[in-house]
């Protein structure tokens, strides 16, 4: 397998994006699978590397990346050294980042006879699931969609983070990162961007527009995002497939850092389910 870590996608007038690729060396016609991490997430979190290798071994060119404003940097792509960037992140930026990664992947692998750049599949976890749904609805290059513990509504989350008037007055509000203990800033621009782009950021409407195969995976012990959100996504696209993983939490019983090569059975089930779906 050919693994290339921390490729830097430089962009004019925009923050760079850091990318990993995992490609099997022997498989022909490999579809491209692009993975989107979630809120307070990053491409090297937990067991995402093990997942990437397992999917690549099944004949896929697997790409994962850090959203440009996720709080990581080119020099330190793990965790959140750049809280200023984190505070300036928003859904529109993440959608545009994903578009740039798709463009990059098609160009990067164009001359590679083993990779089929006409077949782009998206996988998104948590907030990244919502981003993947929106991008699938607006970009006809995407041929399959998988969401893991995805949110079903950005509006609710955006408007209910604390007191709106206070947020506007202060210009920022903070959320504690339970793992790193950092105070993570959210600048008021986050809310303003949502209000300006409500149509584009409507996950329900996006689901209703999706005409490619869609798989929804959620754990029934998820305390961060209720399994009801998966059921809503499924209801909005009756052609989608819904898989509920028993006893699985929001991250399918993995944590960070993940030091073992073996995986919890719930996370194995996630990987097997979506390899079968992608195949």
Residue span of the structural domain in which 266 resides: 2-154+200-278
Tell me, yes or no, whether 179 lies in a domain: no
Choose the weakest-confidence range: 80-84, 110-114, 217-221.
110-114
Tell me, yes or no, whether 265 lies in a domain: yes
Residue 31 belongs to a domain with what CATH number?
Answer: 3.40.50.1820
Average pLDDT over residues 207-221: 98
Give the pLDDT confidence score for residue 26 in this predicted structure.
Answer: 86
Owner of token pair 């399959």: 144
| Percent of the chain whose pLDDT exceeds 70 | 99
Average pLDDT over residues 25-42: 96
Give the pLDDT confidence score for residue 158 in this predicted structure.
Answer: 75
The H or E element containing residue 142 is: strand 142-148
Tell me, yes or no, whether 166 lies in a domain: no
Confidence grade of residue 161 (pLDDT, cut at 50, 70, 90): low
Residue 48 DSSP SS3: helix
Tell me, yes or no, whether 174 lies in a domain: no
Tell me, yes or no, whether 180 lies in a domain: no
Give the pLDDT confidence score for residue 83 in this predicted structure.
Answer: 98
Tell me, yes or no, whether 171 lies in a domain: no
Tell me, yes or no, whether 183 lies in a domain: no
Give the pLDDT confidence score for residue 159 in this predicted structure.
Answer: 65
| pLDDT reading at 157 higher than 90 | no
Task: Report the chain's mean pLDDT, rounded to a whole number.
Answer: 96
Selection from 7, 11, 1, 65 nearest residue 34 by Cα: 65
| pLDDT reading at 257 higher than 80 | yes
Calpha distance 235→244 (Å, rounded) = 14
| pLDDT reading at 162 higher than 70 | no
Average pLDDT over residues 108-112: 94
142 strand-pairing partners:
120
* pTM over cut 0.85: yes
Give the pLDDT confidence score for residue 40 in this predicted structure.
Answer: 96
Domains: count for the chain: 1
Both tokens assigned to 167: 């947020």
The strand ranges marked E within the chain are 2-11, 14-23, 30-36, 61-65, 115-125, 142-148, 172-176, 183-187, 214-219, 241-245
Calpha distance 208→38 (Å, rounded) = 22
HSE of 127 in the Cβ direction (CA atoms, 13 Å)? 21
Selection from 13, 54, 15, 14 nearest residue 35 by Cα: 54
Average pLDDT over residues 196-225: 97
Tell me, yes or no, whether 99 lies in a domain: yes
What's the maximum distance between 2 C-alpha atoms anywhere in the chain? 57
| pLDDT reading at 267 higher than 70 | yes
Q: What's the pLDDT tens digit per position in 61-92?
A: 999 999 999 999 999 999 999 999 999 999 99
Q: Are 244 and 230 in contact (CB under 8 A)?
A: yes
């Amino acid at each position: 397998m050919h693994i290339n870590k921390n490729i830097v996608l430089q962009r004019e007038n925009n923050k760079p994006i850091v990318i990993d690729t995992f490609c099997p060396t022997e498989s022909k016609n490999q579809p491209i699978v692009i993975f989107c991490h979630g809120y307070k997430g990053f491409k090297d979190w937990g067991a995402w590397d093990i997942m990437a290798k397992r999917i690549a071994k099944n004949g896929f060119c697997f790409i994962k990346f850090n959203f440009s404003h996720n709080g990581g940097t080119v020099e330190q792509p793990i965790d959140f050294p750049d809280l200023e960037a984190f505070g300036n992140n928003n859904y529109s930026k993440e959608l545009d980042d994903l578009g740039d990664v798709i463009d990059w992947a098609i160009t990067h692998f164009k001359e590679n006879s083993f990779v089929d750049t006409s077949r782009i599949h998206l996988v998104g976890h948590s907030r990244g699931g919502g981003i993947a749904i929106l991008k699938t609805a607006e970009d006809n290059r995407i041929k399959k969609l998988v969401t893991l513990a995805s949110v079903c509504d950005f509006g609710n989350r955006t408007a209910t983070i604390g007191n709106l008037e206070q947020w506007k007055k202060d210009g920022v509000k903070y959320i504690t990162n339970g793992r790193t203990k950092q105070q993570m800033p959210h600048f008021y621009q986050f809310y303003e961007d949502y209000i300006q782009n409500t149509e584009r950021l409507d996950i329900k409407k996006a689901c209703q527009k999706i005409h490619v195969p869609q798989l929804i995976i959620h754990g029934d012990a998820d305390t961060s995002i209720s399994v009801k959100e998966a059921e809503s996504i499924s209801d909005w696209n009756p052609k989608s497939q819904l898989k509920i993983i028993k006893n699985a939490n929001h991250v399918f019983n993995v944590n960070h850092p993940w030091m073992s090569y073996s995986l919890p059975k719930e996370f194995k089930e996630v990987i097997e389910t979506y390899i079968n779906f992608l195949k």
